[in-house]
């Protein structure tokens, strides 16, 4: 392996109209040799050996665990949980529907935490977790399975494997698996495996990258991955050995890897990016923003936030511009402010003990139609219970407004969400959100909700009921997460696959794979076709007069403002004009003549929707 260059380049830190220049380091390495080509069918694993520590280390090390525990203890005192939630009526949006479901395991033994992830090409499903890799048919039949310990033996690598991530490359029709090996600076590597064909049970080319790129006392933790037109992108946190949390985190680094060479099994070319900072602070936990549909992007966005804050509204949008062979790759960072705050979540209650919720980092995100949708854990600011946030960054190429919404179970807490795009036609930005649920009187299971940008959220439904609470570690605090897997089924538009977490009757955390579809009647059918663009607010009850704002980018003709009822039928044409001035506009009208109920106001130009908003008229 040759180190070609070490370059100091500039990052643009964008905060509105202000810009600040800092430096980052780019290191190019060529000739990263393959360590093996293995056929998954040939791995002989009759025993599915799994060794797990029942005092499992927390994500990002034990100092992180201690710090987070103290933070949550203080949070419990300063922000006690309550049941102060507004009374809500049943949603008019239908929930997602289950097509099929099955166990994500081949052997019943699991790791702590579960760290389950998933990828599929429509015919095969790879279910990966801290204990094993299980490859199944789309109908749930076992194809190939083996423990991570057996894989380590085949690769002649000692120590433990953990934090598996897996993805399906739509353009190459191939799979990629990434996991970590070793958790100290003397023994830390990133293992990357590329499938040689679209058959996940066949040959895989395996490579090893150092988890200690600076040859100091750090090791790599918590990888996240994405694929672009030319590259595999891997992010990871560098953690110092045996340091308290305040100094234990070194930085988050970014690997850019030539995926074509990986699929071919020839030496890799990589770029390593370091010193990614905002001001003087390293940006932590870079979550790659995936492409929502089959078309891959040339560049990559990443999202981060202030994940340890009790309450904060800041997000960091990082863009890596240029592919692996672009000599002029650059990084831009935009500091964004959301309209609603998020915060580190409290631990979630079970029948006995609690489930660990970690922090408020961004867990999954995707890009589509100049928007980014993303999810993560949060403290619900209404009742201080464990919930999730669902955010949208509108106009990514321009103003980048951030709209954040909180979700909470009516009588239970939720965590570790995934998000998958389920639109079929152009302009449809609807999604399915999945997450874990738990309560003192509700066993740990998996829930889902459907979201339509025009009509809002469906009711939360359980897609896998728990059979018991989790009781694997000594003490009252059990692991939950640290993440879950979700992916669009690119061979079956409108559907997605997810790997979630439930408690079985033996009080063990178990993975469950579910194929979901958006509802057969996704939303009330409107009497005209409109393309989804944006919705910025929750429906709120109003008494006498309704007002809304919307923005016209340029002079538009044939503007109509229409009123629909909850069934999607046109109630009235409220306003029409052949021209409206560009910029921000406010529309209002008296609602005293409307019957009580749920309405949708749509601002259209021809068959294009400019804006929409929900309206609830009270008695």
Give 450: exposed, middle or buried? Use CB within 10 Å, 0-12, 13-18, 19+. buried
Render pLDDT for 359-391 as a digit per residue (tens, 0 to 9). Answer: 999 999 999 999 999 999 999 988 999 999 999
Parallel, antiparallel, or unpaired for β 559-565 and 509-517?
A: unpaired
- Which residues are CB-contacts of 379 (< 8 A; sequence separation ≥ 6)? 75, 79, 310, 311, 342, 343, 344, 345, 346, 360, 385, 386, 387
Q: Is the pLDDT of residue 576 over 70?
A: yes
CATH of range 2-18+68-517; options 2.130.10.10, 3.30.750.24, 3.40.640.10, 2.160.10.10: 2.130.10.10
For residues 415 and 357, the answer to whether their CB atoms sit within 8 Å is: yes
Q: Which residue has the higher pLDDT, 153 or 12?
A: 153
pLDDT bucket at 569, cuts 50 / 70 / 90: confident
CATH 3.70.10.10 fits 541-617, yes or no: no
Domain boundaries, given as residue ranges, for the chain: 2-18+68-517, 541-617
Q: Is the pLDDT of residue 481 over 80?
A: yes
Handedness of CA 566, 568, 571, 572 (dihedral sign): positive
Residue 81: phi and psi, rounded to 5, are: -70, 150
Report, as an integer, the average pLDDT of 503-508. 90
pLDDT bucket at 61, cuts 50 / 70 / 90: low
For residues 434 and 451, the answer to whether their CB atoms sit within 8 Å is: no
Give 454: exposed, middle or buried? Use CB within 10 Å, 0-12, 13-18, 19+. buried
Q: What angle do CA 319, 321, 327 make, to 5 degrees?
A: 145
Q: Which residue has the higher pLDDT, 52 or 371?
A: 371
Enter the pTM of the model: 0.82
- Which residues are CB-contacts of 482 (< 8 A; sequence separation ≥ 6)? 59, 113, 115, 163, 222, 358, 416
Distance of alpha carbon 319 from alpha carbon 301, whole angstroms: 4
Distance of alpha carbon 2 from alpha carbon 564, whole angstroms: 64
């Amino acid at each position: 392996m040759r180190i070609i260059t070490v370059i100091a380049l500039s990052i643009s830190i964008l905060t509105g109209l202000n810009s600040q220049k800092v430096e980052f380091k780019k290191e190019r390495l060529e000739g990263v040799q393959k360590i093996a080509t293995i056929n998954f069918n040939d791995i002989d694993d009759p025993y599915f050996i799994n060794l797990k520590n029942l005092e499992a280390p927390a994500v990002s090390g034990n100092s992180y665990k201690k710090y987070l525990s103290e933070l949550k203890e203080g949070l419990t005192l300063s922000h006690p949980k309550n049941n102060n939630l507004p009374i809500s009526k049943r949603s008019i949006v239908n929930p997602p529907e289950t097509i099929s479901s099955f166990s994500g395991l081949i052997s019943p033994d699991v790791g702590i935490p579960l760290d389950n992830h998933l990828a599929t090409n429509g015919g095969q499903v790879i279910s990966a977790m801290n204990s094993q890799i299980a490859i199944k048919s789309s109908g749930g039949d076992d194809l190939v399975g083996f423990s991570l310990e057996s894989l380590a033996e085949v690769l002649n690598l000692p120590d433990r494997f953990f934090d598996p991530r897996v993805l399906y490359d739509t353009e190459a029709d191939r799979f990629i698996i990434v996991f970590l090996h070793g958790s100290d600076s003397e023994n830390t590597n990133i293992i990357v495996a590329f499938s040689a064909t679209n058959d996940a049970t066949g040959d895989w080319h395996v490579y090893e990258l150092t988890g200690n790129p600076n040859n100091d006392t750090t090791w790599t933790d918590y990888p996240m991955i994405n694929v672009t037109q030319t590259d595999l992108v891997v992010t990871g946190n560098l953690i110092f050995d045996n340091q308290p949390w305040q100094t234990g985190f070194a930085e988050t680094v970014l690997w850019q890897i030539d995926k074509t060479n990986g699929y071919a099994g020839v030496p890799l070319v990589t770029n390593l990016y370091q010193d990614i900072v905002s001001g003087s602070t390293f940006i932590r936990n870079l979550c790659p923003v995936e492409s929502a549909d089959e078309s891959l992007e040339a560049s990559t966005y990443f999202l981060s936030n202030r994940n340890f804050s009790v309450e904060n509204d800041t997000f960091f949008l990082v863009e890596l511009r240029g592919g692996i062979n672009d000599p002029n790759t650059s990084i831009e960072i935009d500091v964004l402010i959301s309209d609603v705050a998020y915060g580190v979540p409290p631990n979630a209650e079970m029948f006995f003990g609690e489930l660990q919720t970690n922090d408020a980092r961004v867990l999954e995100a995707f890009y589509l139609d100049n928007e980014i949708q993303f999810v993560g854990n949060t403290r619900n600011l209404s009742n201080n219970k464990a919930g999730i946030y669902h955010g949208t960054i509108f106009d990514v190429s321009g103003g980048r407004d951030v709209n954040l919404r909180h979700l909470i179970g009516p009588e239970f807490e939720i965590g570790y969400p995934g998000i998958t795009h389920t639109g079929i036609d152009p302009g449809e930005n609807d999604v399915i959100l999945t997450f874990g649920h738990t309560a003192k009187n509700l066993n740990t299971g998996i829930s889902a909700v459907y979201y339509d940008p025009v009509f809002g959220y469906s009711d939360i439904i359980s897609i896998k009921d728990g059979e018991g609470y989790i009781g694997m570690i000594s003490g009252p605090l059990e692991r939950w997460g640290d993440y879950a897997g979700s992916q669009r089924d690119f061979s079956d538009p409108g559907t997605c696959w997810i790997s979630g977490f439930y408690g079985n009757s033996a009080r063990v955390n178990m993975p469950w794979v579910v194929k979901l579809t958006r509802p057969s009647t996704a939303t009330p059918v409107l009497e005209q076709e409109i393309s989804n663009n944006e919705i910025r607010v929750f429906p709120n009850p109003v008494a006498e007069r309704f007002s809304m704002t919307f923005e016209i980018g340029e002079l538009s003709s044939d503007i109509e403002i229409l009123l629909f009822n909850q069934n999607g039928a046109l109630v009235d044409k409220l306003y029409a004009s052949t021209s409206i001035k560009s910029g921000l506009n406010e529309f209002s009208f008296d609602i005293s003549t409307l019957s009580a109920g749920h309405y949708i106001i749509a601002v259209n130009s021809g068959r294009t929707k400019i804006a929409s908003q929900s309206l609830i008229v009270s008695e």
